[in-house]
Amino acid sequence: MDKPFAITLDVGSSLANKTGSWRTSRPVYLDRLPPCNNACPAGENIQAWLFHAEGGDYEAAWRELTQNNPLPAVMGRVCYHPCEDACNRGKLDAAVGINSVERFLGDEAIKRGWKFPAPPKESGKRVLVVGAGPSGLSAAYHLRRLGHAVKVVDAGPMAGGMMRFGIPKYRLPRDVLDAEVKRIADLGVEFEYNRKVENIRDTMTEGKFDAVFLAVGAHIAKRAYIPAGEAAKMLDAVSVLRDMEGEEKPMLGRRVVVYGGGNTALDVARTAKRLGASEAIIVYRRNREKMPAHDFEVEEALQEGVMIKWLSTIKNMANEGTLTVEKMKLDEKGFPQPTGEFETLEADSLVLALGQDVDLSLLEGVPGLAIKDGTVQVAPNMMTGYPGIFAGGDMVPSERTVTVAVGHGKKAARNIDAWLAGGTYEPAPKHELADFEKLNAWYYTDASKTVRPMLDIVRRTSTFDEVVSGLDETNALFEARRCLSCGNCFECDNCYGVCPDNSVIKLGPGKRFEFNYDYCKGCGICVSECPCGAIKMVPETI
């Protein structure tokens, strides 16, 4: 009787303290997809570069970030950060200031002169990119890093597309844009400006290009029929913002009315104030809830004295500079309906900000293309119906933002690379989402989000100085450390410390942990005590 009893308690024996066959589930380590990563249209591995940033290794963070996005200083200013809308930290106190840290890293790279590494080898293939906007720049960057010779052709005098000719300087300083474009050029990308591609197939043949990526921006302003007298001054928003890049600034007058409800309408109205307009009024057909412009931009415009007439539409503009405006009301489906009530507005100029279209004339005569609603239809690999011609950005059906365009460029580059090699690009499968319910957030204490400094109102309305400033190193470091590392182990040692059976094995710094299932009884305490949701219970297998 004593012998088996002694064997059971002998801690030196390989059989000591083993669990029985009664365990029904076991814990496993896993990586889940952080919601910020999942929400990023550019496909950034946000959690990975935040990890480096919170450790103070800013160059490593920047290099991780630019694996997917070559324009972090630009994006840190103009991206509408859907990643922050998805951030789990927002359910605790406030979302991590991901966009603020991205801008800090981008600015740090410019200040310190960090460069992209040269391609490891040359492929011998030549790719043409038409359009030097965000999508074209992104595609050119990724294609060059994959070893292809890349030439970017643009009809404008400088690179940037709508980032330069559609976003005012108070939101995106041009020296920041120029620095990030130069870094792409230094990688070996060739740029040719002031050249409009008339026929894409002829251009491909003449230049002996193996593939082409079309990234022409939406530079053609949409028009609306508004009866106007001969002396009435009516402009389009695209032209106004483009002219701001020239020596001769647009003459808008003291009273400016902008017709539209998007971010471009706000940009024009805010620009008018900076050009000296005493009144800048936006006329929009619906209410604020239906306005497509982002709410924080609406707030900034209102702070600067821009007025907005909701539920209004413009009927005509008389010679003497008066507008007739009709009041609208929303029907039960939310669509504006006329009321028959009119009022007049004094205006020196009327600027139409009703959206933009893309010039698709370069595609005339190309067989196999499908064009619908002014956009080119593409397959999941971003290729059009003509082999070797890919398209993205404003040219294809999608949301028209800088971030989406950058994502298109990256996706197209990877598919072009695979197509040139005679294969297909297969992205890695996504992990399951690390939603808030999978975290144990009670481990975290409140840490308020760092608010970026803003220029005072007087200077905002009298200069084109940048309105929103960046974080300093101390604030950027603090903000990065607010990340919860959703779904991915950061080696906090909780599982190791709470396991009652000593079944968790530490593998060393950066190597995480593993379970010794000979000792684990499947109690699940490790799961309940993991702050980031990087462990789950799975059914026991026999």
pLDDT tens-digit profile of 294-323?
999 999 999 999 999 999 999 999 877 889
Residues 309 and 197 in one domain: no
Residues 208 and 61 in one domain: no
Tell me which residue range forms the domain holding 289. 231-351
The one-digit pLDDT tens for each residue of the chain (542 residues) are 343 333 333 333 333 334 445 688 999 999 999 999 999 999 999 999 999 999 999 999 999 999 999 999 999 999 999 999 999 999 999 999 999 999 999 999 999 999 999 999 999 999 999 999 999 999 999 999 999 999 999 999 999 999 999 999 999 999 999 999 999 999 999 999 999 999 999 999 999 999 999 999 988 888 888 888 776 789 999 999 999 998 889 999 999 999 999 999 999 999 999 999 999 999 999 999 989 999 999 999 999 999 999 999 999 998 778 899 999 999 888 889 999 999 999 999 999 999 999 999 999 989 999 999 899 999 999 999 999 999 999 999 999 999 999 999 999 999 999 999 999 999 989 999 999 999 987 777 778 888 899 999 889 988 999 999 999 999 999 999 999 999 999 999 999 999 999 999 999 999 999 999 999 999 999 999 999 999 999 998 76
C-alpha distances in angstroms, 53 versus 20, 100, 396, 479, 510?
A: 45, 12, 35, 9, 16
Does 426 fall in a domain? no
Provide the pairing of β-strand 504-506 with 513-515. antiparallel
Q: Which residue has the tokens 């002996």?
A: 208
Residues 236 and 334 in one domain: yes
Does 27 fall in a domain? yes
What's the total number of domains in the chain?
4
| Per-residue b or e along 118-147, where b marks 16 or more CB atoms closer than 10 Å to that residue's CB | ebeeebebbbbbbbbbbbbbbbbbbbbbbb
Q: Which two tokens stand for residue 321?
A: 């500079």
Q: Which two tokens stand for residue 527?
A: 């799961």
Does 146 fall in a domain? yes
Q: What CATH number is given to the structural domain containing 533? A: 3.30.70.20
Asked whether 356 and 220 are in contact (CB, 8 A), the reply is yes
Residues 214 and 362 in one domain: yes
Q: Which two tokens stand for residue 91?
A: 């359910």
Residues 146 and 88 in one domain: no
pLDDT value at position 223?
Answer: 84
Residues 76 and 93 in one domain: yes
Does 433 fall in a domain? no
Q: What CATH number is given to the structural domain containing 278? A: 3.50.50.60
Q: Which two tokens stand for residue 520?
A: 């684990």
Percent of the chain scoring above 70 in pLDDT: 96
pTM for this one? 0.91
Residues 364 and 455 in one domain: no
pLDDT value at position 542?
Answer: 60
pLDDT tens for 168-224 read 999 999 999 999 999 999 999 999 999 999 999 999 999 999 999 999 998 888 888
Q: Among 351, 385, 410, give the residue marking a domain's end.
A: 351
- Determine the number of helices (DSSP H) and then strands (DSSP E) in the chain: 19, 21
